[in-house]
């Protein structure tokens, strides 16, 4: 585990109940744990979070590497929330919790007697965050919602890929991760408010709305022109050239996304005639003649390698970069200096690779305080902390609180 800091972590003494599975909810709660929160992961007995058994390859133990990368800094408690005894335990935990995050189908916990209206009666300052595919209300609310559906139904997939190509989704789960971030922004704001007023609130976060919120440029393009945006590959709707370009040994990315950089690019490439070409005189004309612009520039780019052009463009102050695979990106000296791969000690796996912290805090840097938990690893520890005796645990176990 990483060393401690002089100052307490920002969320020390904040208790979070994580009643979520797969990605958006667990990722959000892990971020809270990284900043010091005591995150108690409530899991179904037997199977636990379904991500424990995901991915197409096996580790030494039963948990997938995906689970191990979204659940550090948590403690695991197994509860059968369909049993009266399991509900009793959750309600007891909720009395002293600050935040609850769940991603059940809309209305599911309410039907089980564990909705916000019930929990706020026993803990008025609780911030109760629900993450779902399409939100808690509306015609699509009851649909199962995953990142793929959110990308498809929000419009994001309609602008991803190349013109006339089959549908393409973003290569990373933008709706899942984005929803986690939006949910945490709202949750922490509500938590601060509850500290000031003593009153928590209910937060409704959805993958669908997250994906729509990401579409600023595309939506403004549609509202401004009246024409639905179309996929443009690596190009940009606001400026050109700003995209991947072919060269003699593959592709690289570059941008001359304002008039000053456009002039510099033409001079660097010894293509000053392009400055007088009426198709390319300003951004609007370059956008209107995007393919012709790419064809002209690639005539020059194809005369040399990607390394050559990236180095030349950067030396002239023009944005450019190679297109790296994940091994190349994580293996880069920059990613190493920025700590984007770290290793966590795990009781079964030994050293487990984890993606590093994406932002850095100078005074209270995030810490790995706990390995991703084994299923039910902290049942007795957590429940004894809230005053339950061994006799209480035995009674609850016999009543099915922790599964059959």
Catalytic site residues?
A: 176
Query: DSSP secondary structure string, 347-366?
Result: TTTEEEEEEPPSS--SSS--
C-alpha to C-alpha distance for 16 and 305, rounded to whole angstroms: 52
Instruction: From residue 216, give the alpha-carbon distance in Å to each of 50, 212, 220, 374.
Output: 33, 8, 6, 41
C-alpha to C-alpha distance for 150 and 160, rounded to whole angstroms: 13
3-state helix, strand, coil in the chain (%, to 5): 40, 15, 45
Beta bridge mates, 130: 102, 204
Query: DSSP secondary structure string, 37-93?
Result: -EEEEEE-TTT-SGGGG-SSS--SSSS-HHHHTT-TTEEEEE--TTSHHHHHHHHHH
C-alpha to C-alpha distance for 297 and 60, rounded to whole angstroms: 51
């Amino acid at each position: 585990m990483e060393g401690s800091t002089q100052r307490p972590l920002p969320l020390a003494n904040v208790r979070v109940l994580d009643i979520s599975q797969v990605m958006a909810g667990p990722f959000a709660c892990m971020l809270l744990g990284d900043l010091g929160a005591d995150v108690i992961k409530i899991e179904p007995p037997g199977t636990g979070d379904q991500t424990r058994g995901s991915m197409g390859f096996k580790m030494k133990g039963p948990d997938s590497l995906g689970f191990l990368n979204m659940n550090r800094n948590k403690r695991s408690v197994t509860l059968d929330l369909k049993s009266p005894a399991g509900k009793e335990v959750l309600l007891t935990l909720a009395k002293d919790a600050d935040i609850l995050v769940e991603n059940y189908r809309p209305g599911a916990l309410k039907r089980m007697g564990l909705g916000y209206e019930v929990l706020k009666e026993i803990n008025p300052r609780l911030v109760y965050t629900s993450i779902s595919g399409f939100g808690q209300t509306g015609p699509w609310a009851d649909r199962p919602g995953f990142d793929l559906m959110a990308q498809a139904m929000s419009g994001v997939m309609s602008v991803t890929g190349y013109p006339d190509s089959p549908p393409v989704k973003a290569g990373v789960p933008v709706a899942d991760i984005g929803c986690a971030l939006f949910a945490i922004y709202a949750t922490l704001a509500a938590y601060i408010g509850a500290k000031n007023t003593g009153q928590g609130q209910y937060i409704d976060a959805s993958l669908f709305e997250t994906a729509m919120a990401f579409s600023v440029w595309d939506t403004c393009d549609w509202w401004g022109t009246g024409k639905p945006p179309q996929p443009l590959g690596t190009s940009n709707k606001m400026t050109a050239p700003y995209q991947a370009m072919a060269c003699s040994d593959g592709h690289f990315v570059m941008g001359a996304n304002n008039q000053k950089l456009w002039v510099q690019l033409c001079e660097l490439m010894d293509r000053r005639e392009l400055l007088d070409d009426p198709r390319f005189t300003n951004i609007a004309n370059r956008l209107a003649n995007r393919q012709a612009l790419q064809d002209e520039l690639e005539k020059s780019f194809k005369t040399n390698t990607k390394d050559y052009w990236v180095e030349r463009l950067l030396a002239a102050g023009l944005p450019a970069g190679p297109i790296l695979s994940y091994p190349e990106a994580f293996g880069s000296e920059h990613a190493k200096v920025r700590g984007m791969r770290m290793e966590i000690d795990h009781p079964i796996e030994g050293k487990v690779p984890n993606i590093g912290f994406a932002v850095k805090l100078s005074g209270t840097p995030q810490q790995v305080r706990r390995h991703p938990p084994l299923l039910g690893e902290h049942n007795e520890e957590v429940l004894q902390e809230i005053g339950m005796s061994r006799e209480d645990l035995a009674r609850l176990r016999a009543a099915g609180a922790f599964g059959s």
